[in-house]
Chain A
Amino acid sequence: MTLAEKILALHSNRDSVKPGDMIMAKLDMILGTDVTVALSVEVFRNMGAEKVFDPDKIALVNDHFVPAKDVKAATLSKIMREFAHEQNIPNYFEVGRSGICHSLLPDKGLVKPGDLVVGADSHTCTYGALGAFSTGIGSTDMACSWALGELWFRVPETTKVVIEGEFQPYVGPKDLIMYIINKLGVEGARYQAIEFTGGTIERMSIDGRITVCNMAIEAGAKTGLIAPDDTTRAFMKKFPDIEGVYLKSDPDAVYSQVLNVDVSGIEPLVAEPYLPSNTRSINELTGVKVNQVVIGSCTNGRLEDFRATAEIMGDNEVHPDVRLIIIPATPGIIREMLAEGLVDKFIKAGAILSPPTCGPCIGGHMGILAKDEVGLFTTNRNFRGRNGHPESKVYLAGPQVAAATALTGRITDPREVV
């Protein structure tokens, strides 16, 4: 069996499963956010449910429209807050202690290797970075999951991506996953699990693995996952009471397709509007004028991303025609940045720091684009209208390209500014 199949078998009390099997599986964690919870609460009540199956296995996170951007957003959070209190859900995260869900949950020890996690957010596939099977669902699925603690799944085929080689300077996990999505296409792994393997992945940090698994859905995948290893064990040491199940694919596991990637040939990459799979080598887009750069999101809002940003920026200032918005994914990451002097450095350079939020990634607040404006974001989607006016445009890239672009006001190869 593959890693994905093993986790699903484990949670459905079966010795084995195979792609295409429909199973009811027990859930370890159910994630909801301010955008999706209120509808689930309504569905939950309408189905006559009174109590959630297990308050400890539910996380409710304020991230998308917080601090509340308007009255309607405030109302969504209020419904979630009241539900959390009513159901005694300990892992309710209030503004100030909250952050972008997919960064917050791993840092709070709420997901562990071998878990089966669902979340009413499409990027729930991120926790594959810790060797969990995690996938996005809608609000009705979430309400049903709260009630029963289980949910139906079709066991997916697994696409295996074998990644070898050393990155060139200023090329990293974001470039890698954009390269893979371009190779697979926006639905190249639809309904499938993507397992990322190989020497490059084995050497990659948890922050990097989070970036890679986060964007599996952009190839249509149900989940992206990486076999947990010593790097995972080291990360989980912060939570001594939590024991994960460390599984890996069998040598004779069956894959629907195998993609081999040699990262040593990958240049800094940029995805053109309006699809994350529109990946281009940086030299095809160098010089495109940019009004706003956003570095953050569940894809690239972690400490390593801001270290990479700082390395490219050096002591230079942000270009006068550019708004550089830095969004640390969690309060913990802000503290780490403060400790390393990164916040001071960014502010001095003319950037602004936003509180942890999805904000501009979803066109909510904290940096919406006007008609004809161009953004370069480290987020994961550049669909039409997602980040502001339908005639604005967003290019996607990693933090190095974003930092270089913020300095020059034009899409810039980081190798040109360091």
Chain B
Amino acid sequence: MSLRIVVCVKYVPDATGDRHFADDLTVDREDVDGLLSELDEYAVEQALQIAEGRRQGGDDAEVTVLTVGPEDAKDALRKALSMGADKAVHVEDDDLHGTDVIGTSLVLAKAVEKTGYDLVVCGMASTDGTMGVLPALLSERLGVPQVTLLSEVSVEDGKVTGRRDGDAATEQLEAALPAVVSVTDQSGEARYPSFKGIMAAKKKPVQSLDLDDLDIDADEVGLGGSWTKVDDAAERPARTAGTIVKDEGEGAKQLAEFLAGQKFI
């Protein structure tokens, strides 16, 4: 039996660019450079490694990358395909604009089910929303275990195991497939697409789905279907320019003066 892996990847505004809000207080995704969220590259990498491991063992595996996002989100899929994923699914619909995480989890859950899966792999958080809750929501919706925030993951004998480095402890986790996994940026460097990979990606299938295909009503998603509302967004005032001194032997003393003046010592 082929192991069906679905990787959820998000197309996000470039963090090193000028990120801002649109007039309706949603994240502006039109006017900015976007890319495959770096944290989802780790998810693609782990999925590819799991698939490669299976194939080496004489079993079969298939990696599908899935995104919910605007037209340009195809770039994220393309990148993941050029890293080595087999096929892609793009959920795109004008009514999705402004969907919150609860709505996104609904769309992803339906798309994952439609695609068919044994394992869903997510990143630890999106670099724009940074909530880090979508994998848990997917697990809740799909009714399968969550094995999240792993810095190490492996799949064997119908089980997924992994290491979660938490605040208070390191945990070794285990769950039966099907399951939802998320991996951290400690899970191992993601590969760069090779030239061959980039060429091959152009021929790989990208399936487009809209809300009708997933039996989702427009009012369950989008800005109107969102269960939260942003009332205002203000740019943080630039910090007032501080004092900068060059150390010519007195730097430590000057800094100590400053700290004493601020009552830190």
Q: Do A and B come from one complex?
A: no
Seen from chain A, the residues whose Cβ lies within 8 Å of a Cβ on chain B are none
